[in-house]
C-alpha cells in the first residue's frame, strides 16, 4: 500500500500523486469504455466488442491509438484559440478533482479540510470548457449544445450543492477524510440510511452534471449531431471523452464517500471497498444510459427546478432542524 502522506516533501508528493492519477484516469478510461460497450451490448442482447483480443478487451486500446493517430482539424472560421483551449480546459481540472479524494486509509493527494469545496469549485470548469468549445467551433449545433450545457449545469449544480450541504450539516465538515471517518463499516452505518433522499437527488444530479444519458441533451445525437464536440477530431474529441469518464469517476467517488462509507466496508476495510462501491455506481450510471430515452430539454429543466430544488431544500431544512434538535 502506497502511503502518499508519508512522503515528506509536499512538492514531490504532489508530482508523484499527479503521475499516479494520470495512470489511474487513463486505465479507468479504457476500462470504462470497454465496460460501457459491453453493458450496452448485453442489454441489447448482442456481445459488444469481441474481435480485438479475447472478448474484445483490447478494443479500447485500439480506439485510443486511433484517436491519437488522427489529424486535428479546426473548422474554417473557428476561433482557433478558444477552440483548442476548450478540450485542454475540460481535461486539466480533472487532476485537481481527484486530489482530495480519499481512496483508502491515507491514500489521497492533498489533505485539506475543504476537499468537498475544492471538488465542487473545480468541477465548474467543465461548463466553461463546453461553452468555449461550442462557441469557438463556429457551428450552430456546437453553439446550441453549449447553450444547453450551460443552462443544464447551472440548474443542476443547485440541488447537487444542497444535498452535499445536507451531508455537511450532519457531519459538520467538508473534509472528505473526516466524512468517511464518521461512517461505519456496515451499510446501516452509512449516510445513505439517514439521507436517502439526498442520495437519490445527488446521484441523479451527478448524472445530469456529467451530461450522461438520459440527461445528455448537450450532445443529443439526433438533434445536434454531437453538440459541443461536433467539430472536434482526434484527441480534441478524445480529451472531452476522457474528461467525461473521469468526471463520472469523480462524482461516483464523491457519492461513495458522502453516502456509502468511502473505503470502509464489512470485514476488511480498504481501497478495494472504495473501488467496488465506485464501480457499482458507475455500472448503475451505464445501466441508466442504456435504459432511459433522452429527456426533452424543457423536461430536464422542469425536473430540476420543480422537483429537485424544492425537495433538496426541504431535505436540507429538515436536516438542519434535526441536527439542531438532537
Q: How far is the CB of 292 from other proteins (least distance, A)?
A: 6
Q: Judged by CB under 8 A, which stretch of 40-48, 72-80, 170-178, 232-240 contacts other proteins?
A: 40-48
Report in angstroms how near the CB of residue 295 gets to other proteins at its nearest: 11
User: 185 or 200: whose CB is closer to other proteins?
Assistant: 200
CA angle 295, 296, 301 (to 5 degrees): 90
Q: Report the nearest approach of other proteins to the CB of residue 282 (Å).
A: 15
Closest distance of CB 53 from other proteins, Å: 15
Q: How many CB atoms lie within 10 A of CB 317?
A: 12
**Pair 176, 257: CB distance under 8 Å:** yes
Q: DSSP letter at 107? A: B
**What is the DSSP-derived secondary structure letter of residue 104?**
B
Binding-residue total with other proteins (CB under 8 A) = 14
- How far is it, in rounded angstroms, from Cα 203 to Cα 192? 11
Q: How many residues does the chain have?
A: 326
Among 2, 3, 47, 318, binds other proteins (CB under 8 A): 47
Residue with smaller CB distance to other proteins, 123 or 207: 207
**Whole-angstrom distance, CA of residue 35 vs CA of residue 271:** 20
Cell of 249: 469517476
Q: Do 110 and 176 touch, CB atoms closer than 8 A? A: no
Largest CA distance in the chain: 63
The single residue among 3, 44, 113, 189 that binds other proteins, judged by CB under 8 A, is: 44
- Residue numbers 306-325 binding other proteins by CB under 8 A: 307
CA distance linking residue 77 with residue 193, whole number of Å: 54
Stretch 278-307: interaction string toward other proteins, x if CB under 8 A: ---------xx-xxx--------------x
Q: What is the DSSP letter of 216?
A: -
Contact pick of 30, 32, 33, 39 for other proteins (by CB under 8 A): 39
The residue whose grid cell reads 450532445 is: 219
194-253 binders of other proteins (CB under 8 A):
none
Question: Rounded to the nearest whole angstrom, what is the least distance from the CB of residue 188 to other proteins in the complex?
Answer: 22
Contact between 124 and 93 under an 8 Å Cβ cutoff? The reply is no
Residue closer to other proteins by CB (options 45, 324) is 45
Query: Which CB, 272 or 307, lies closer to other proteins?
Result: 307
Shortest spacing between CB 288 and other proteins, in angstroms: 8
> C-beta of 180: minimal distance to other proteins in Å?
29
Please compute, for residue 210, the number of CA atoms within 13 A of its CA located in the half-sphere on the CB side: 24
Chain residues in the site for other proteins (CB under 8 A): 39, 42-47, 50, 287-288, 290-292, 307
Amino acid at each position: 500500500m502506497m502511503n502518499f502522506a508519508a512522503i515528506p516533501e509536499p512538492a514531490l508528493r504532489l508530482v508523484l500523486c499527479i503521475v499516479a492519477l494520470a495512470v489511474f484516469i487513463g486505465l479507468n478510461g479504457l476500462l470504462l469504455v470497454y465496460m460501457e460497450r459491453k453493458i450496452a451490448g448485453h442489454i441489447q442482447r448482442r456481445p459488444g466488442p469481441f474481435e480485438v483480443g479475447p472478448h474484445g478487451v483490447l478494443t479500447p486500446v485500439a480506439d485510443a491509438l486511433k484517436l491519437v493517430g488522427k489529424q486535428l482539424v479546426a473548422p474554417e472560421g473557428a476561433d482557433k484559440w478558444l477552440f483548442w483551449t476548450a478540450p485542454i480546459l475540460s481535461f486539466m481540472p480533472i487532476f485537481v478533482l481527484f486530489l482530495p479524494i480519499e481512496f483508502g486509509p491515507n491514500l489521497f493527494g492533498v489533505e485539506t479540510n475543504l476537499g468537498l469545496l475544492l471538488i465542487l469549485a473545480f468541477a465548474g470548469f467543465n461548463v466553461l470548457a463546453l461553452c468555449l468549445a461550442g462557441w469557438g467551433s463556429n457551428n450552430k449545433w456546437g453553439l446550441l449544445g453549449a447553450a444547453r450545457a450551460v443552462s443544464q449545469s447551472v440548474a443542476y449544480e443547485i440541488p447537487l450543492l444542497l444535498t452535499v450541504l445536507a451531508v455537511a450539516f450532519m457531519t459538520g465538515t467538508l473534509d472528505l477524510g473526516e466524512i468517511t471517518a464518521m461512517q461505519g463499516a456496515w451499510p446501516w452505518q452509512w449516510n445513505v440510511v439517514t439521507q436517502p433522499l439526498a442520495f437519490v437527488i445527488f446521484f441523479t444530479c451527478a448524472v445530469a452534471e456529467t451530461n450522461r444519458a438520459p440527461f445528455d441533451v448537450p450532445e443529443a445525437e439526433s438533434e445536434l449531431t454531437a453538440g459541443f464536440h461536433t467539430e472536434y477530431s482526434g484527441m480534441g474529441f478524445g480529451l472531452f471523452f476522457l474528461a467525461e469518464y473521469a468526471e463520472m469517476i469523480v462524482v461516483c467517488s464523491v457519492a461513495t464517500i458522502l453516502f456509502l462509507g468511502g473505503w470502509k466496508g464489512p470485514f476488511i476495510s480498504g481501497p478495494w471497498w472504495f473501488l467496488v462501491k465506485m464501480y457499482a455506481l458507475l455500472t448503475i450510471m451505464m445501466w441508466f444510459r442504456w435504459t432511459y430515452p433522452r429527456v426533452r430539454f424543457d423536461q430536464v429543466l422542469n425536473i430540476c427546478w420543480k422537483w429537485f430544488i424544492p425537495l433538496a431544500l426541504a431535505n436540507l431544512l429538515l436536516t438542519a432542524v434535526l441536527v439542531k434538535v438532537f
